[in-house]
């Protein structure tokens, strides 16, 4: 019996089973590694602008506390439930361990469509959610960050709410804050930059000229848009993008700066162009060099995987590829190069870690230093993953997750079981 359920949680369990088998982890040790340490469910009442009261359910799951505080984003979306948040927390643990951060994984969220809230309502919900979480979080317990449906402004409200209760400013309670409120240079761009940096490495490995390369990007929020900007800056042609309102395709290449400006003004890609509209699902299987899912989970299932025509799958989103799809990808003769999510989008948590370190020290770095350190960590983890996959003759995902699980297991083993 467990309180966690749903397809995303099942996917995390299924993936862990593959890794545990690969590492020959004894069965009686598996639940200790897999099951979250803590989960909290809260009711967040807010005043609506029309004078009524609405209540939204919020969650926070802390996966393990073995290596230090937990770390993870907060998602505001209608997909959010305890199972999804638990799966995302588990993936965060393997990710942090893979890239060598002193954190366990966490994730939180509120079941809400943030676009249905006014700015005042969003502020009320953000503040109430953080207020409800105060007994369970802290700079050395659990540090939040942005995720789908939240942004720098929401992090500023979180930080302010926590700080007002402490009677002092505690910038290190969240990361992904505005630079003006203790955030770090380079955090906003960090995840997309990391995705593009790794995709560029693989383009190089495959001897694909950047100026001849094409990319398709699903999701045009923080991760998708900065991936597009970075890839375009290397010379890669962005031929298709999508968001929750639809997809756009232009074989000649889309104007990324114009797309970013449109989304900045209107909040989504809707209304950008009628002529360029395309099927949002069909977009994933367009011929291209780099496919970047940067929206949500489980968009590449076995059927889509069989039809993919990309050469590199750079997973910006968490959990975009189902275990069934992984099996299809492993059997394909044309060997699509998969950069799995826990490596591909880890630039975000890496630079969140830098933000936390800078806040604790009150010593702030130049953007060049942030980027240089981010890329160094990504390069190291990429090399380790590729070497491990080759050595063990396993997929990149299995290799990356095995490295992460192994590190968490080693820490748990050496610390022992209390009491």
Active site residues: 107
Q: Is 44 among the residues that bind ligand NAD (CB under 6 A)? A: no
Task: List CB contacts of 27: < 8 A, sequence separation 6 or more.
Answer: none
Choosing from 223, 228, 339, 394, the residue that interacts with ligand NAD (CB under 6 A) is: 223
Q: Would the CA dihedral through 45, 47, 53, 57 be positive or negative?
A: negative
> Does 272 participate in binding ligand NAD (rule CB under 6 A)?
no
Residue 18's alpha-carbon distances to 30, 280, 325, 363, in angstroms, are 12, 31, 14, 42
- The footprint of ligand NAD on this chain (CB under 6 A) covers a number of residues equal to 24
H-type alpha helices, 206-322: 222-233, 256-266, 302-307
Query: Is the CB of residue 177 less than 8 Å from the CB of residue 155?
Result: yes
Instruction: Provide the 3-class DSSP secondary structure of residue 44.
Output: strand
Under the binding rule (CB under 6 A), the answer on residue 227 touching ligand NAD is no
Nearer to ligand NAD, 20 or 225 (CB): 225
Whole-number minimum distance, CB 408 to ligand NAD, in Å? Answer: 19
Which helix (DSSP H) or strand (DSSP E) does residue 396 occupy? Answer: helix 396-415
Kindly state the tokens that stand for 414. 């050496």
State which of residues 318, 321, 322, 358 lies at the interface with ligand NAD (CB under 6 A): 318
First-last CA distance in the chain: 24
Cβ of residue 24: shortest distance to ligand NAD, in angstroms?
30
Task: Quote the DSSP letter at residue 283.
Answer: G
Contact positions with ligand NAD (CB under 6 A) in 354-383: none
109 binds ligand NAD (CB under 6 A): no
Q: Confirm or reject binding of residue 186 to ligand NAD (CB under 6 A).
A: no
Of 186, 202, 195, whose CA–CA distance to 372 is shortest? 186
- Should residue 105 be labelled a site residue for ligand NAD when binding is judged by CB under 6 A? no
Sole window of 129-137, 252-260, 293-301, 359-367 interacting with ligand NAD (rule: CB under 6 A): 293-301
User: Is residue 322 a contact point for ligand NAD (CB under 6 A)?
Assistant: no
Of 260 and 411, which has the nearer Cβ to ligand NAD?
Answer: 260
Indicate the helix (H) or strand (E) that contains 341.
Answer: helix 341-344
Given 72, 149, 182, 183, the residue binding ligand NAD (CB under 6 A): 149
Q: Which of 295, 192, 309 is nearest to 244 (CA)?
A: 295
74 binds ligand NAD (CB under 6 A): no
Q: Which stretch binds ligand NAD (CB under 6 A): 33-41, 97-105, 217-225, 322-330?
A: 217-225
Cβ neighbours around 54 below 10 Å, total: 16
Q: Is 142 in the site for ligand NAD (CB under 6 A)?
A: no
| The one segment of 119-127, 129-137, 218-226, 368-376 that binds ligand NAD by CB under 6 A | 218-226
Q: Does 220 bind ligand NAD (CB under 6 A)?
A: yes
Q: Which helix (H) or strand (E) holds 278?
A: strand 277-278
CB of 177 to ligand NAD, least distance (A): 13
Binding window for ligand NAD (CB under 6 A); candidates: 35-43, 143-151, 154-162, 326-334: 143-151
* CB distance 198 to 169 below 8 Å: no
Counting Cα atoms < 13 Å in the Cβ hemisphere of 405 gives 28
Query: CB under 6 A: which stretch of 21-29, 127-135, 250-258, 291-299 binds ligand NAD?
Result: 291-299
Asked if residue 184 binds ligand NAD (CB under 6 A), the reply is no
Bridge partners (DSSP) of residue 55 are 45
| Minimum gap (Å) between residue 212 Cβ and ligand NAD | 27
Q: Which of 81, 123, 147, 374 binds ligand NAD (CB under 6 A)?
A: 147
Element of type H or E holding 160: helix 152-166
Q: Which residues bind ligand NAD (CB under 6 A)?
A: 146-149, 191, 218-224, 242-244, 280, 294-296, 316-318, 345, 348
């Amino acid at each position: 019996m467990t309180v966690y359920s749903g397809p995303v949680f099942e996917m995390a369990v299924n993936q862990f089973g593959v890794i545990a088998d690969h590492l020959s982890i004894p069965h009686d040790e598996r639940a200790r590694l897999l099951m979250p340490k803590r989960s909290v469910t809260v009711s967040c009442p807010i005043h609506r602008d029309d004078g009524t009261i609405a209540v939204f359910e919020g969650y926070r799951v802390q996966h393990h506390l073995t290596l230090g505080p937990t770390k993870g984003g907060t998602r505001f979306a209608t997909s959010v439930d305890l199972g999804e948040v638990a799966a995302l927390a588990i993936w965060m643990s393997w990710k942090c361990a893979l890239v060598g951060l002193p954190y366990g994984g966490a994730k939180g969220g509120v079941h809400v469509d943030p676009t249905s809230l006014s700015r005042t309502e969003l502020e009320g919900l953000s503040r109430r959610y953080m207020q409800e979480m105060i007994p369970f979080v802290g700079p050395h317990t659990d540090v939040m960050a942005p995720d789908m449906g939240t942004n720098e402004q929401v992090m500023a409200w979180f930080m302010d709410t926590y700080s007002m209760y402490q009677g002092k400013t505690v910038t290190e309670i969240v990361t992904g804050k505005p630079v003006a409120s203790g955030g770090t240079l380079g955090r906003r761009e960090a995840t997309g930059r990391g995705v593009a940096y790794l995709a560029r490495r693989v383009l190089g490995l495959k001897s694909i000229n950047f100026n001849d390369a094409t990319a398709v990007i699903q999701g045009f929020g923080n991760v998708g848009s900065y991936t597009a900007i970075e890839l375009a800056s290397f010379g890669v042609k962005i031929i298709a993008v999508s968001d929750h309102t639809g997809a756009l395709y232009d074989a000649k290449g889309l104007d990324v700066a114009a797309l970013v400006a449109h989304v900045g003004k209107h909040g989504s890609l809707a209304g950008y162009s009628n002529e360029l509209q395309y099927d949002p699902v069909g977009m994933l299987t367009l011929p291209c060099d780099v496919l970047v899912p940067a929206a949500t989970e489980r968009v590449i299932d076995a059927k889509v995987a069989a039809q993919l025509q990309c050469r590199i799958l750079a997973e910006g989103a968490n959990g975009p590829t189902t275990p069934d799809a992984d099996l299809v990808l492993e059997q394909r003769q044309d060997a699509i190069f998969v950069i799995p999510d826990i490596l591909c989008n880890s630039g975000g948590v890496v630079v969140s870690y830098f933000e936390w370190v800078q806040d604790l020290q009150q010593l702030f770095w130049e953007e060049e230093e942030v980027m240089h350190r981010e890329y160094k960590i990504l390069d190291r983890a990429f090399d380790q993953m590729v070497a491990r996959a080759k050595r063990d003759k396993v997929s990149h995902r299995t290799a990356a997750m095995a490295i992460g699980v192994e590190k968490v297991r080693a820490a748990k083993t050496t610390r022992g079981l209390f009491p």
